[in-house]
Amino acid sequence: MSRKVVAIVSDLHSGHRFALMNPTVKLPTEDQTGNMTTWTPTATPTQQWLWECFMADMRETQRLADGAPIILIVNGDVTQGKKHPDQLVSNRDYDQIAIAVTNLLPWMILDNLQTVRLIEGTEAHEFGQGTAPRLVADQLRALFPKVDTRVTAHSLLNISGARFDVAHHGPSPGIRQWTSGNQIRYGLVSLINTCLEQGIMPPNVTARAHYHTAAWESIKPRGIIDYEVHGVITPGYAGLTHYSRQVTRSAWLVGCGMFAFEVEDGQVGVHKFARVMDLRTEETL
């Protein structure tokens, strides 16, 4: 079977001032005489950092692929939505879609990009019923008809002999540093047992998102020789909003990055491209 690379990004939250934004995006507007023109929002320092990370991770993925086909999975929350409207780049819903599409353009123009899957995420961030990923997918298909682009709620993908179970919501990475990974391991054991009870092989990779924290655990199921199940949580490309700062009880490290998987003849190699930003304001008084 042919070698492929699977790139999984998530939580772009396009449209928020502290989330991913391509600095070349052009949004439509009109002047006082009614003539249509465009404007480019000024990127915040957080957006500048996120974009640098996003491009660096894409280049690392391209280097890893070395010409092999790339499958890009956008695992939920491609936009910010309107439920938490504070600090949006613009109050117009369309602009979030335009920013999301422009964010993905560097991936779409890669010669070896073969497939794109957008996974539905949190309803509050996608204008309900998977609206945002479907609008983004429609525009990408129109611009790049040769790339197989679709939307799903929960994907089970067979890629070069390996199975990928991808959905936005799943176990948390843990609320304490010393328990990090416990919930992922519990979830993997439960998934493996359920699959074996149903007489099917467990997926090689389960990918989840939502928590903006990078996590990775692996388990070798008993009785299955040379078989490993990987569970990952992708950190995404968004900073903390006022609301997320509240619900995370003032988290001071925010994750940024993605996972890439090298797949050939059913074997999977996992590559984590991730880092954190310290959100605290340090002063010497």
pLDDT, tens digit, 9 for 90 and up, residues 56-91: 999 999 999 999 999 999 999 999 999 988 899 999
CATH of the domain at 184: 3.60.21.10
Q: How confident is the model at residue 250 (pLDDT cuts 50, 70, 90)?
A: confident
**Host domain of residue 222:** 4-278
Q: Please say whether the beta carbons of 68 and 2 come within 8 A.
A: yes
The whole-number pLDDT of residue 56 equals 98
| Assigned domain for 284 exists | no
| CA atoms within 13 A of residue 233's CA, in its CB half-sphere | 24
CA distances to 136, 142, 208 from 234, in Å: 20, 28, 7
253-267 tens-digit pLDDT? 888 999 999 999 999
| Assigned domain for 197 exists | yes
pTM to 2 decimals?
Answer: 0.94
Mean pLDDT of 164-184: 88
| Assigned domain for 285 exists | no
Q: How confident is the model at residue 100 (pLDDT cuts 50, 70, 90)?
A: very high
- What is the domain count for the chain? 1
| Assigned domain for 220 exists | yes
| Assigned domain for 95 exists | yes
| Assigned domain for 111 exists | yes
| Assigned domain for 86 exists | yes
The whole-number pLDDT of residue 1 equals 53
Helix (H, G, I), strand (E, B) or coil at 37: strand
The whole-number pLDDT of residue 172 equals 87
Mean pLDDT of 143-155: 98
